[in-house]
Amino acid sequence: MAPILKPDICVIGAGSGGLTTAAAAAAFGVKVVLVERGKMGGDCLNYGCVPSKALIAAGKHVAAIREAKRFGISVGEPQVDFSAVKDHVRGVIDAIAPNDSVERFESLGVTVVKSHAEFVDEKTVSAAGQIVQARRYVIAAGSSPFVPPIDGLKETPFFTNETIFDLRERPDHLVVIGGGPIGLELAQAHRRLGSKVTVVEAGTFLGRDDPELAAVVLDRLREEGVSLRKGAKVVAVRKGEAGPSITIETGGGREEIAASHLLVAVGRAPNVEGLGLKAASIDYDAKGIKVRPDLRTTNRRVYAVGDIAGGPQFTHVANYQAGLVLRPILFRLPVKERRDHLPHVTFTDPELGQIGATEAEAKASGALKDVLRWPYAENDRAQAERHTDGLVKLVLGKGGRIIGAGVVGLAAGEMTNMLSLAVGKNMAVSDLRDFISPYPTLSEIGKRAATVYYRPYTEKAFVRRAVRLLARLG
């Protein structure tokens, strides 16, 4: 019988949240066991953030070549070697993989067990025939692509974000089911790389984002030739000789769309099955493991972070939560997760970043006092780059506090960092006004949006009288 492992912490899942937890704990000299049944690095490295951004980068280069004539540069139509593009994607994954590898984590002092983990009781996990009895557990088992119960889908070949990057030949016509960030990012990338692309969405495209900002992204996708079918419910899928076809239902009736390849991108489901959660007295539902504000489960020994914890499914959220749970586990410090300042970015072109409350959310809650905007077209750097579509939007609460922000346009993801700090630190609009931005940069747009707050004061009679009076005083 294998010896019983008795670490201080057992981490289940080697995605972003699990790796962050394990590495940080090991840095303090704590004994850590890390259990992973699949690939080290999890979804982000192997199927999500990394490969999708590598594919998007390839698409951006194609778009840049096509737009070169606007800068006085003459080039021909770009020639895309789709197989070579996928080699580029694989190369990016391979370059990052050593940071997440078994070898690296073992060098940090972490015991890595490559196996499925399952709780056998409230205090014990079984993995690869070994028994683990840790003082505390952190479940970071992630999520998997959700496959909706559409008639005929199981009998029809289709891709998810976990399989689309293995496709070596360029799709003639890629049909995407799902109009969220994943669906639209991959749709635009494939369109730029030469595929015909249709995206169908039963509800609203980019439904979690401010509609005013989302419209800028959707307009660009339509200009580039992506067909966007809003309010189109997929009622059936079938396998044809030339490829799959879907039947959609809209206000105008039913319609069939033929495709060469089908991508299902309608969200993700937490990996709660097979973990023995009931044996461990851990409550969960279809949304994930139920956690308290300190991310502790109904089993006081066990915490959950990342996609499986039922919150926003982003790599940076998993990392944030991993940092939180280490405080009570290692130092007995109280923590409370905040979700009112979590940023997210859709990496289309233009990018779209959102932090905190949208205008509609702030209005619904009664917190909205003002909304400030400044367009990219009024920014000198945006003009020089010839990317003038977009705007920064600040949502203000009482006392000019920035309770939400959004930005759509060139490098919006990078600009989201500053706005995330402003929302997270409860800054006032005056803090952005006084921020000194180097010229010429896109971040000036956020500063200019802040100055709009003071524009009405320039028209007030008493302010103008005060200025005239002070001028007379010399």
Instruction: Read off the pLDDT of residues 205-245 as tens digits, 9 standing for 90 and up.
Output: 999 999 999 999 999 999 999 999 999 999 999 998 889 99
Q: Consult the annotation and say whether 385 binds a ligand.
A: no
Reported as a single tens digit per residue, the pLDDT across 171-209 is 999 999 999 999 999 999 999 999 999 999 999 999 999
Question: What is the secondary structure of 47-74 as a DSSP string?
Answer: TSHHHHHHHHHHHHHHHHHHTGGGGT--
Please give the pLDDT value at position 39: 96
Q: Is the dihedral of CA 37, 41, 44, 48 positive or negative?
A: negative
Can you point out the beta strands (E) in 378-468? 391-396, 402-409
Q: Consult the annotation and say whether 307 binds a ligand.
A: yes
Reported as a single tens digit per residue, the pLDDT across 310-355 is 999 999 999 999 999 999 999 999 999 999 999 999 999 999 999 9
Per-position b or e across 87-98, b if 16+ CB within 10 A of its CB: eebeebbeebbe
Q: Residue 231's Cα: distance from chain center in Å?
A: 23
Instruction: State the average pLDDT over residues 279-293.
Output: 97
Q: Is the dihedral of CA 221, 222, 223, 224 positive or negative?
A: positive
Q: Consult the annotation and say whether 310 binds a ligand.
A: no
* Ramachandran area for residue 250 (φ above 0: left; ψ -120 to 50: alpha; else beta): beta
What is the model's pTM?
A: 0.95
Q: Consult the annotation and say whether 180 binds a ligand.
A: yes
The C-alpha atoms of residue 235 and residue 269 are separated, in whole angstroms, by 21
Q: Residue 194's Cα: distance from chain center in Å?
A: 25
Q: Consult the annotation and say whether 185 binds a ligand.
A: yes
Give the CA radius of gyration of the chain.
Answer: 25
Query: What CATH number labels 9-145+269-331?
Result: 3.50.50.60
Taking 80 as the threshold, does the pLDDT of residue 440 lie above it?
A: yes
Q: Consult the annotation and say whether 53 binds a ligand.
A: yes
The C-alpha atoms of residue 297 and residue 281 are separated, in whole angstroms, by 9
As a whole-number percent, the residues of the chain with pLDDT over 70 amount to 100
As a whole-number percent, the residues of the chain with pLDDT over 90 amount to 93
Higher pLDDT among residues 65 and 469, named by residue? 65
Please give the pLDDT value at position 1: 62
> CATH classification of 164-266, choosing from 3.30.497.10, 3.30.70.270, 3.50.50.60, 3.30.230.10?
3.50.50.60
Q: Consult the annotation and say whether 194 binds a ligand.
A: no
Q: Consult the annotation and say whether 255 binds a ligand.
A: no
Task: Provide CATH 3.50.50.60 ranges for the chain.
Answer: 9-145+269-331, 164-266
Q: Is the dihedral of CA 373, 378, 382, 388 positive or negative?
A: positive
Q: Consult the annotation and say whether 404 binds a ligand.
A: no
For residue 330, count CB atoms less than 10 angstroms from its CB and return exposed for 0-12, middle for 13-18, buried for 19 or more: middle
Q: Consult the annotation and say whether 267 binds a ligand.
A: yes
Q: Consult the annotation and say whether 210 binds a ligand.
A: no
Strands 302-304 and 32-36: unpaired
Pick from 416, 209, 161, 426: nearest CA to 312? 209
Pick from 121, 129, 98, 122: nearest CA to 35? 129
Q: Consult the annotation and say whether 72 binds a ligand.
A: no
Instruction: Specify whether domain 350-459 bears CATH 3.40.50.720.
Output: no
